[in-house]
Amino acid sequence: MTKILPVVLSGGSGTRLWPLSREKYPKQLLPLVGEQSMLQATVARLDGIAGLGEPLLVCNEDHRFVVAEQMRLLGKQGKTLLEPFGRNTAPALTLAALWAQQQDDDCVLVVMPADHVILDGAVFRDTVVKAVALAETGLAVTFGITPDCPETGYGYIKQGVPLADGSGAFKLARFVEKPNREVAQAYLDSGDFLWNSGLFVMRASTWLNALQLCRPDILDACRAALRGGGEDGEFVRVDRVMFEKCPSDSIDYAVMERLTTGQAGLPESAVIPLSAGWSDVGAWDALWKVLPKSEAGNASRGDVLLEGCHNTLAISEGRLVACVGVSNLVVVETDDAVLVAHHDATQDVKKIVDRLKADKRSLAQWHRKVYRPWGWYDGVDSGERFQVKRIGVKPGASLSLQMHHHRAEHWIVVSGTARVTKGDEVFLVTENQSTYIPLGVKHRLENPGIVPLEMIEVQSGSYLGEDDIVRFEDTYGRS
C-alpha cells in the first residue's frame, strides 16, 4: 500500500484577519471555526484514510513551540520542518519532498495549507483518495473548488478534457489570475473554470523531477539547506545561510502553471473538482460566510449582544461587545485593539497592518498575551520605568538561566509553586509569597510541580524591552 504523507504548510501571517491574527501568532494557530485551531483541523482532516502516515509540518521557526504543543494536544507524532525565514510555498514543498526521500520513501504527498476551512470532511477525504490513485501513476494533481459565485479574490483553473479513468478528474488546461467581476461571471457561466484551492497531491519524485526542469535553482538551494541542517527531536532544521540563498516562489508559478505548456519531460497534470465547503478564510467577510449564522445573518463569538443587526460578525475576546442597528459590519475586540470594518472593505485590513509596521508598533506582530515554550506572559500594565506581567509556567517547565542589564524584578506567586534560582541561592516560593531579583543577578524560574504556576511580575528599570536578556542556559536552545 502506498504511504500517504500529509504535508501541512503553515507559513502564512493572515494579516487581513488582524487583530486576532498577528505575525507572531497567525490565523492558522487560532480556533476561528470550531474548537480546534485551523492547523489542528487541517492535520486531523485526513484521519481515517488507509495508508496515512504521521504529518510533516513546515512552519516558521518562531512558531515551533506553539505548533509542537498543538500537535501534542492532537496526539500526533509527526515531524516539523523549520524555515528560518519565509520563501513561499515552492521551497517549503521542496524541503518536504527531499526530507521524504531521505526516509527512503517515494510516498504520495498530500499538500495542504494550514489556514483553510473545509466543512465537509467526508467529501474531502473521498476526493483525496481519488487524487492519491492518480498521483500513484505519476500525475501531479490539484483540486479546483466548484465556484458558486463570480469571486474576484481567487485565481481560477480551467479544466480540460475529462480523464478516461472515470475518476471525475480533468486534464489541467491552464491557470488564470484573479479576474475582474465581469470576467469572473463569464468563467462561472462557462462551467469550465474552478477556483484555485492551493491543494496538491503528487509523489515526492514527481515534484522534484518537475522542479529540476522548471526551477533547478530552488532545488539546489533546498538540497544544500537540508544537507547542512539536522534533526532536533521532532524538529527538522535547515542551514540558515543556504536557505537564505533560496529564491522565493509559489508552487503554482514554479511548476504547476508550466505543466500546461506541454514541455518535454514534465509530468502530466490533472484537476479534480471539489465541493466540500472550502474557504481560504482570507479576510473577515470570508470567515463570516463559513460560520453558523442567525436568521438575521449574524455570527458572533464571546460576550456579544446584538440588537436589530443584520449580516454582522462580532467577536469578543474579553469585554462585552454590543452592536445596535448595524448591518454588514465586522467588529472584533481583543485585549489591545478593536477593529470595525464594513464587509466590502475587509481586504483593506492589511493596510492597517502595514501602517502599524511603518510606525514600528508591536501590535502588528504580537498579542498582549505572548506564548513561550515554557508557558506564556500577559502584559497587564506599563508606564515610565515599570511594567507588570502575568506569567504562566507549565508543569515541569523552566525559563532560561538569565540576567538583565537594565531592570530588576519582583515576583509574586498567585498559584502553584515556583523554584527560584537567584545567584547562588535555590529556593521555593509558594502561593502569596514573593521574592526580589536585583538588576544584574543571574536568575531562573521553574515550575517543579504538577499544576500550572501563575505569578505576577513587576519590572522596574531604565529599559524594559524583551531584548534585555542575557541567557546562560536554556532548555529550548534559544541564544
Residues forming a β-bridge with 445: 420
Count of structural domains, the chain: 3
pLDDT in tens, 308-356: 999 999 999 999 999 999 999 999 999 999 999 999 999 999 999 999 9
| Same-domain status, 53 and 109 | yes
| Same-domain status, 68 and 113 | yes
pLDDT at residue number 263: 84
pLDDT at residue number 172: 93
Tell me if 362 is assigned to some domain: no
pLDDT at residue number 146: 93
- Report the chain's C-alpha Rg in angstroms: 25
Q: Is the pLDDT of residue 217 over 80?
A: yes
Tell me if 202 is assigned to some domain: yes
Tell me if 459 is assigned to some domain: yes
| Same-domain status, 134 and 268 | yes
> In this structure, what CATH number is given to the domain that contains residue 411?
2.60.120.10
> In this structure, what CATH number is given to the domain that contains residue 200?
3.90.550.10
Q: 279, 299, 323 — which closes off a domain?
A: 279
pLDDT at residue number 285: 94
Q: Is the pLDDT of residue 174 over 80?
A: yes
- Containing H/E element for 332? strand 329-333
pLDDT at residue number 46: 96
| Same-domain status, 13 and 40 | yes
| Same-domain status, 89 and 170 | yes
pLDDT at residue number 304: 98
Distance in angstroms (rounded) separating the CA atoms of residues 62 and 85: 9
189-to-153, 182, 192, 194, 429 alpha-carbon distances in Å: 17, 11, 8, 11, 70
30 grid coordinates: 487560532
| Same-domain status, 17 and 82 | yes
pLDDT in tens, 149-165: 998 889 999 999 999 88
Distance in angstroms (rounded) separating the CA atoms of residues 221 and 217: 6
CA dihedral 213, 215, 218, 223 (to 10 degrees): 0
Tell me if 479 is assigned to some domain: no
- Containing H/E element for 103? none
| Same-domain status, 341 and 380 | no
| Same-domain status, 137 and 269 | yes
Tell me if 399 is assigned to some domain: yes
- Number of helices (H), then strands (E), belonging to the chain: the values are 11, 30
**Closest-CA residue to 404 (of 464, 450, 334):** 464
Beta-carbon contacts of 152 under 8 Å, excluding residues fewer than 6 positions away, are 178, 179, 180, 181, 184
Tell me if 285 is assigned to some domain: no
SS3 content of the chain, % helix, strand, coil (to 5): 25, 35, 40
- Containing H/E element for 127? helix 121-136
pLDDT at residue number 165: 83
| Same-domain status, 404 and 467 | yes
Does the pTM surpass 0.95? The reply is no
- Count of alpha carbons within 13 angstroms of residue 94, beta-carbon side: 36
Give the model's confidence band at 416: pLDDT under 50 very low, under 70 low, under 90 confident, else very high: very high
pLDDT at residue number 477: 75
Cβ-contact 459, 402 below 8 angstroms: no
- Containing H/E element for 321? strand 321-324
Q: 279, 300, 319 — which closes off a domain?
A: 279
| Pairing between β-strand 321-324 and β-strand 304-307 as defined by DSSP bridges | parallel
pLDDT in tens, 21-78: 999 999 999 999 989 999 999 999 999 999 999 999 999 998 998 999 999 999 999 9
pLDDT in tens, 230-282: 998 899 999 999 999 999 999 999 999 999 887 888 999 999 999 999 999 99
Tell me if 359 is assigned to some domain: no
Give the domain range for residue 134. Answer: 4-279
Beta-carbon contacts of 242 under 8 Å, excluding residues fewer than 6 positions away, are 221, 224, 225, 227, 228
Q: What is the mean pLDDT of the chain?
A: 94
Q: Is the pLDDT of residue 105 over 80?
A: no
| Same-domain status, 444 and 338 | no
> Looking at residues 455-459, what average pLDDT do you find?
98
pLDDT at residue number 479: 66
| Same-domain status, 269 and 300 | no
Which DSSP string corresponds to 156-176?
A: EEEEEEEPTTSSS-EEEEEEE
Tell me if 355 is assigned to some domain: no
Q: For Cα atoms 205, 209, 212, give the angle at the middle one, nearest 5 degrees.
A: 140
pLDDT cut 70: percent of the chain above it: 99
| Same-domain status, 256 and 334 | no
Q: 279, 307, 334 — which closes off a domain?
A: 279
pLDDT cut 90: percent of the chain above it: 89
User: What are residue 14's phi and psi, to 5 degrees?
Assistant: 60, 45
Q: Is the pLDDT of residue 207 over 70?
A: yes
